[in-house]
Amino acid sequence: MSAAAEPVVFEYALVRVVPRVERGEQLNAGVLVYCRPAGLVQALIRLDEARLLALDPDADVGAVRAALAAVAAVCTGGDAAGQAGADDPGRRFRWLTAPRSTIVQPGPVHCGLTTDPVGEAARLLEQLVG
């Protein structure tokens, strides 16, 4: 019988879409998860286009999808992520969670413990994005 995995610290932030920054209305469109002990930075994205268009009927859904895809690319790293792609997972997470005033924004960073760093993003996506 194997012992249960030791819990490790992880950090996460919501990825939010704020179609009209001046109004401050937002919808959750994904999660970012970083776990230093596992060397993991991960993004899962789920955009509800109907909710986006309810907040702003003139929203450029294609541009929002492209911005969300760029977030996921930075998490993956490599050439597709541009200059950030060569950074270590922690630096990529910190870059993605830096405050910005754009349509796609990070929420505050939260911490937790998990025995399944890889599965944590899917759990949070279901719980916080739907």
Q: Could you give the angle at which helices 89-96 and 61-76 cross, rounded to 10 degrees?
A: 150
Average pLDDT over residues 42-69: 95
In a domain, 3, yes or no: no
In a domain, 114, yes or no: yes
pLDDT at 76 (0 to 100): 85
* Cβ burial, residue 90 (10 Å; 0-12/13-18/19+): middle
In a domain, 1, yes or no: no
In a domain, 39, yes or no: yes
In a domain, 119, yes or no: yes
Q: Residue 2: is its pLDDT beyond 90? A: no
Name the residue type at position 61.
V
77 — pLDDT class (breaks 50, 70, 90)? confident
Average pLDDT over residues 121-130: 95
Number of domains in the chain: 1
Please tell me the pTM assigned to this model.
0.89
Average pLDDT over residues 56-81: 89
Distance CA 46, CA 53 (A): 15
Q: Provide the residue range defining the domain that includes 83.
A: 8-129
Q: Residue 3: which region, alpha, beta or left (left: phi > 0; alpha: psi -120 to 50)? A: beta
Q: Residue 127: is its pLDDT beyond 60? A: yes
